[in-house]
Amino acid sequence: MGSALAKESVNGSSPQQKKTGLGDLPESCVASVLMNLDPKDICNFAKLNKAFHGASSADFVWESKLPSNYQQIIQKMVDEDDKNINNPVYSCKKDIYASLSRFNSIDDGTKVWLDKTTGGICMAISAKGLSITGIDDRRYWNHIPTDESRFSTVAYLQQIWWFEINGEVDFPFPEGTYSVFFRVQLGRTMKKFGRRLCNTEQIHGWNMKPVHFQLSTSEGQRTVSQCFLEGPGQWLHYHVGDFVVKNSEGPTQLKFSMMQIDCTHTKGGLCVDSVVIYPSCFKERLKRF
pLDDT-derived band at 169 (thresholds 50, 70, 90) equals: very high
- pLDDT score of 224 more than 50: yes
238-259: pLDDT as tens digits? 999 999 999 888 899 999 999 9
Q: Please check whether residue 224 is in contact with residue 212, taking contact to mean a CB–CB distance below 8 angstroms.
A: yes
Residues in the chain: 289
pTM: 0.83
Beta strand segments in 83-193, E: 104-107, 110-114, 121-126, 131-132, 141-145, 153-157, 163-171, 176-186, 188-192
Q: What is the pLDDT of residue 165?
A: 98
84-112: pLDDT as tens digits? 334 556 778 989 998 999 999 887 789 99
Least confident of 113-117, 168-172, 230-234: 113-117
126-150: pLDDT as tens digits? 999 999 999 999 999 999 999 999 9
Question: What are the residues facing 251 on neighbouring strands?
Answer: none
Q: What is the pLDDT of residue 108?
A: 74
- Check residue 55 and give left, alpha or beta (phi > 0: left; psi -120 to 50: alpha): alpha
SS3 label, residue 152:
coil
Q: What is the pLDDT of residue 202?
A: 94
SS3 label, residue 74:
helix
